[in-house]
Structure 1
Amino acid sequence: MKRHESLAPLSREHHGALILARLLQKGAPAYKGLPADPAGKARYALQFYENELTQHFIYEEKMVPVLKDINPKLDDMLREMSEEHVILRELFSQLNNPKDLSAQLDKLGKALEKHVRKEEREIFPLIQDSCDPHLLSKISTLFHEQ
């Protein structure tokens, strides 16, 4: 399914998140220009989180009240999305005080990959199927609000 233009910016941002997710997982291939050691991966992950994902999560969460009560399944999926954001924020914060850094990176990488794929394969298509063009255009205005 082609991504609606209102969701396309978020969808494009998911590409970088998926690369990060794979980089953090055990047995990940080397990515040119990206760190290969656990400490470097943790620093990169925290920087990516601060520079990219923090705002990305905020934009996605701004959609929740706009899309409320359109479709019960969508309500459930958006609630799950917000709950996963809380979990991911906690997993990123744990990188500051690692006990077993490799295991923490792997757990974070798997959780981030699962989350992004769920949004791309389930939540975004359901938004597109459930919303009329007016509501979809309203979503894109959320990304321009501060």
Structure 2
Amino acid sequence: MKRHAALVPLSRDHHGGLILARLLQKDAPPYKGLPADLPGKADYAVKFYNEELIEHFHSEEKIVPLVKNINPRLDELLGSVLEEHKILHSLFRDLTDHADLASKLDLLGKTLEDHIRKEERQLFPLIQDTVGTETLDKLQHLLS
């Protein structure tokens, strides 16, 4: 499904998030130009979180008031996504404690990947299918 222009900026951000998610998982292949050791991956993850993901989550959360109370399934997904944001914030903050770092990185990578896939495969298509053109225009203005 082609992404509506209002949601394109959020989808574009997901590319970097998916690379990070895969990098952090135990079975990750090496990525050219990205760290290969656990402390390097943790530092990269925290930097990416601080410089990219916090603002990305904030942008996603800004759209919630415009799209909630339109469809029960959409409301359910919104609640789930917002709860996942809280979990992800906690997982990123937990990386400062390097005990069992491999497991923490793997859990974070899998959680982040699942979260992004849910948004791309379920949330964004449902938004496009259920909200009207006027709301999509408002979203586009809000996110630009």
Scaled by the length of structure 2, what TM-score is found? 0.98
The alignment partner of 2:88 has SS state of helix
Aligned length: 144
| Partners of 2:77 and 2:123 within 8 A in 1 | yes
Residue 52 of structure 1 deviates from its aligned partner by 0.6
Identity %, equivalent residues: 59
Task: Letter of the 2:29 partner, please give it.
Answer: P
The residue that corresponds to 1:57 in the other structure is: 57
- What does residue range 48-127 of structure 1 map to in structure 2 within 5 Å? 48-127=48-127
Letter aligned with residue 127 of structure 1: I
- What CA deviation, in whole Å up to 9, does each residue of 1:34-72 have, x standing for no partner? 000000000000000011100000010111111111101
User: Are 2:38 and 2:101, in contact at CA under 8 Å, matched by a contact in 1?
Assistant: yes
SS in 1 for 2:35: coil
By how many angstroms is 1:142 displaced? Answer: 1.8
Extract unaligned runs of 5+ from structure 2. none
Is residue 143 from structure 1 mapped to residue 131 from structure 2 by the alignment?
Answer: no
Q: Cα RMSD between the aligned structures?
A: 0.7
Structure 1 runs (4+) greater than 4 angstroms displaced: none
Q: Distance in 1 between matches of 2:35 and 2:106?
A: 15
Q: TM-score, normalised by structure 1?
A: 0.97
1:35 is matched with 35
Per-residue deviation at 1:133? 0.9
User: SS state of the match for residue 95, structure 1?
Assistant: helix
